[in-house]
Amino acid sequence: MSRPPTLQFWFDPASTYAYLSAMRIEEEAARHGVSVIWCPFLLGPIFRAQGWETSPFNVYPAKGRYMVRDIERLAASRGLPPFRLPDPFPANSVRAARTALMAAERGLAPDFMCRLFTAAFAEGRDIALPETLRDCLVAAGAPNPDEILAAIGETSTKERLRLETERAATLGIFGAPTFITPDGELFWGDDRLSAALEWACET
């Protein structure tokens, strides 16, 4: 029996366009018969390597204003709640990304991340706060949310996220969302999701 094609979905929980992809990727992937691998990482170190101390949407204000309008329009056209830009933006996503790593290995990533992204970009909640993470873990059906929350402070968890972020840089990732097919083809941006899924099917 052959295994279904896969697609790596690389995201930072603070990324606005990764939010848009997270909310539709499982449904679109299922339609293509593709299995999604959720890969949390941190954009911060990658942006710093490019010389940015914050999000490019802050470094370049015209781009930032456009991004908000673009996501407002896309959210409306996809039936998502009205978009809210978090304050501060970007949120500190270190704890959220570590939690996402652990949720992913328990098979909870899609549910957990859709709830967390919605908290961040529709409900005005701060994903840096443990209570936000806890609420989303509970809502995603995690049987042991406090065990996960305790683990995000452990050295081994920190090290895993650091290694994942290094792997992202090695793969050529410079932004989020990024999709990578089994043959190593890289697609950047929510607007490339369909193309990435089609490529994954062909290989």
Give contact residues for a copy of itself (rule: CB under 8 A): 50, 60, 62-63, 65-66, 69-70, 73, 77, 172-175, 185-189, 191-192, 195
CB of residue 7 vs a copy of itself: minimum separation in angstroms? 16
CB of residue 99 vs a copy of itself: minimum separation in angstroms? 27
Residue nearer to a copy of itself on the CB measure, 1 or 62: 62
Residue nearer to a copy of itself on the CB measure, 67 or 142: 67
Residue nearer to a copy of itself on the CB measure, 77 or 156: 77
Residue nearer to a copy of itself on the CB measure, 150 or 195: 195
Helices (H), 88-154: 94-105, 109-121, 130-139, 145-151
**Which residues of the chain form beta strands (DSSP E)?**
6-11, 35-40, 178-180, 186-188
CB of residue 132 vs a copy of itself: minimum separation in angstroms? 31
178-180/6-11 β-pairing: antiparallel
Residue nearer to a copy of itself on the CB measure, 57 or 112: 57
35-40: strand order across its sheet: 35-40, 6-11, 178-180, 186-188
- Give the rounded distance of the alpha carbon of 144 from its chain centre: 22
CB of residue 191 vs a copy of itself: minimum separation in angstroms? 4
Q: How many of the other CB atoms lie within 10 Å of CB of 88? A: 12
Instruction: Find out whether 104 and 142 touch, Cβ atoms under 8 Å.
Output: no
Picking from 71, 124, 72, 128, the residue whose alpha carbon sits closest to that of residue 97 is 128
CB of residue 128 vs a copy of itself: minimum separation in angstroms? 27
